[in-house]
Amino acid sequence: MLKVEVFPLAVFCVAVSCVLTANFIFYVILGEVNGRMAPGKQISMLFVSVRYFEVVSLHRDLFPSSRKRVVMTVVGATGLMSMLTAFFMGFP
């Protein structure tokens, strides 16, 4: 039977939640960028992760006062650090 301690599992769940939240914020940013672009120049949602830096750069140019980029970065980094912490704590 698989024996998993509770605290590393909780840290891993927090990590997954943070990464999913950062991903959701990225797609909100993509929607805002596509809303300002001409229909022929919009960025497709398929394989958009390849164009991550382009989307963030366009969002910075179009919405300079938006804090979504900072929130996405902080939440994503928190998720990655939490995931590393969970694995170092013995999460399978």
**pLDDT 10s digits, 42-73:** 999 998 989 999 999 999 999 999 999 999 99
- Domains of the chain, residue spans: 6-88
Structure tokens, 60: 């910075």
Residue that has been written with the tokens 């902080």 in this structure? 74
CB count in 10 Å sphere of residue 41? 8
**pLDDT 10s digits, 14-46:** 999 999 999 999 999 999 999 999 999 999 999
The answer to whether 68 touches 29, Cβ cutoff 8 Å, is yes
Burial of 48 (0-12, 13-18, 19+ CB in 10 A): middle
The answer to whether 91 touches 9, Cβ cutoff 8 Å, is yes
